[in-house]
Amino acid sequence: MMNTLIMVALGGSIGASLRFLWGVSVLRLAGPGDFPVAIMVANIVGSFLMGAFVVLAAQRGLTHLSPFVMTGLLGGFTTFSAFSLETVTLIERGNIGGAGLYIALSVGLSVAGLMLGLWMMRGMLP
């Protein structure tokens, strides 16, 4: 268990660092904009890599690397990749309604949670 935790932590630190460097690079290349292109592309690339790794790991017997790659590296780079994988897993299992509900609740309630946090803290802090 401790080895797995270390692998997740190592992958997460690398993934989060890559996401930061990616955001800085896009900002320097494209300049500040009104649309979060860097995060959107990180989400798309991370989701693509998650899908590719799932198949590769299953076919090549590399599932032991999943905590490092999927939870750590890709989870640190973008949590959207894990969200995408769970959504597709529900769809592949034939649970289309569950997938739709998962998407709606995850996105809707996450945005609502963020707004609630902003609202509460703006009211509480001087």
> 11 Cβ partners below 8 Å, 6+ apart?
67, 68, 69, 71, 72, 73, 74, 75, 76
75 is in an annotated binding site: yes
Q: Which two tokens stand for residue 106?
A: 């995850």
123 is in an annotated binding site: no
Binding-site residue positions for Na(+): 75, 78
Binding-site residue positions: 75, 78
